[in-house]
Amino acid sequence: MPTSTAIHPAPAAGGARAPRRTPRFTAGPTTLYAQLASVLRGHIASGEWPPDSDIPSIDELCAQYGLGRITVRQALQILAAEGLVSSQRGRRTFVTYSRDQLEAAPLFPTFAAVGVQTPEYGVKILSHTRTDELPPARWDLGRSAGPYMLVRKLDQSSGQPYGLSGIYVAEDIYKRFPKGAENRSKLVRLLVKYAKVPVTLARERVRVAAADFAEAEGLGCAMAMPVARVERVFCDADGRVVYYSNTAYRGDRYGLERDISEYLHRV
C-alpha cells in the first residue's frame, strides 16, 4: 500500500475554538485534492462555514493544510462544480449552499415511489435476455423457477440517470404485459397487476459500495463514487420468485425514509 504523509496544518484562525485535530492527507486511492474537498465539504455541511460567509483564501488554505496552490484550487473547483461555493472574479470565495437546497435536492426512491410516477420519471430499456435461472449469487429467498426475462434498464429523472437495474421477471407473467408498457411503467407495478398467483412476499436489502465500472458508466458518475446497491425479491403465494432485481442508485440521488417505531417494542 502507498506510503502515508501526515501534514500538520497551522492552527485554525480564531483561537477561541479548541485547536482543530490534524487532517491526515494520504497518498492513496483518493487524490489529495479530493481529500481536501471532502474536508471542506464537511465544514459547509456542518454549518461551521454558514451560507453566504467567505471561506479562507487560497493562501490561507495552503498554509492551514500544508498543501500546494494547485491542490487547493482543484479542491475549490470541485466544490464550485457541486454548487457549494462560488467565486467573485477570483477575489473572494463564499458559501452558496443552503439547507433549503439540501432538502430540495435528494430523490428518495423508496418503494413508496413505485405507485407514484412523476412527469420527470423516465426509463431507458438497455437489453432483454431470456434466462433459465436467477444469478447464483442472489439473496437466497424463495424458489428459482425459470424461465425469466432479464431486463436491464436505467431509471431517469428529467433525463438524468439515477438508477441502473438488472431485473428478472417470471417469463409467463412478463408475456402478459401490454406491448411497450415497460417503457412507461415500473416493472413491479406491471408484475403485481398481471401475476395470476398473488405476490405475497416482498423484501429489500440495501448496501453501500463504490461504483464499479458498469455502474459508473450507466449512472454517468466517476468510478468508485458511492452508490446504494439495492436487492429486491418478490415471491408468489407458492414460494416462487417472480421478480428479482439488483439496482445501483447514485449515492447523491439516493435516500430512504422509514418508520422504525415497530422496533421500540423489541428494545
Q: Which residues between 198 and 217 bind its own copies (CB under 8 A)?
A: 199-214, 216-217
C-alpha cell at 170: 417470471
Smallest distance from its own copies to CB 57, Å: 20
Smallest distance from its own copies to CB 93, Å: 17
129 to 148: interface string for its own copies, x by CB under 8 A: ------xxx-----------
67 to 96: interface string for its own copies, x by CB under 8 A: -------x--xx--x---------------
What's the rounded Cα separation, in Å, for the pair 224 and 210? 4
Task: Identify whether the C-beta of residue 157 lies closer than 8 Å to the C-beta of residue 107.
Answer: yes
Tell which positions 246-265 bind its own copies, by CB under 8 A: 249, 251-252, 254-261, 263-264
Smallest distance from its own copies to CB 251, Å: 4
156, 63, 149: which is closest to 118 by C-alpha?
Answer: 156
Contacts 24+ apart (CB under 8 A), 45-50: 49/95, 50/95
- AA identity, residue 35: Q
C-alpha cell at 91: 477575489
Question: Between residues 63 and 256, which has the closer beta carbon with respect to its own copies?
Answer: 256
Question: Between residues 15 and 213, which has the closer beta carbon with respect to its own copies?
Answer: 213
What's the rounded Cα separation, in Å, for the pair 61 and 141? 52
Select from 62, 150, 188, 242 the one that contacts its own copies (CB under 8 A): 188
64 is a site residue for its own copies (CB under 8 A): no
Select from 12, 114, 145, 154 the one that contacts its own copies (CB under 8 A): 114
179 is a site residue for its own copies (CB under 8 A): no
Task: Identify whether the C-beta of residue 83 lies closer than 8 Å to the C-beta of residue 120.
Answer: no
Task: Identify whether the C-beta of residue 25 lies closer than 8 Å to the C-beta of residue 18.
Answer: no
Select from 11, 42, 83, 178 the one that contacts its own copies (CB under 8 A): 42
204, 205, 206, 192: which is closest to 237 by C-alpha?
Answer: 192
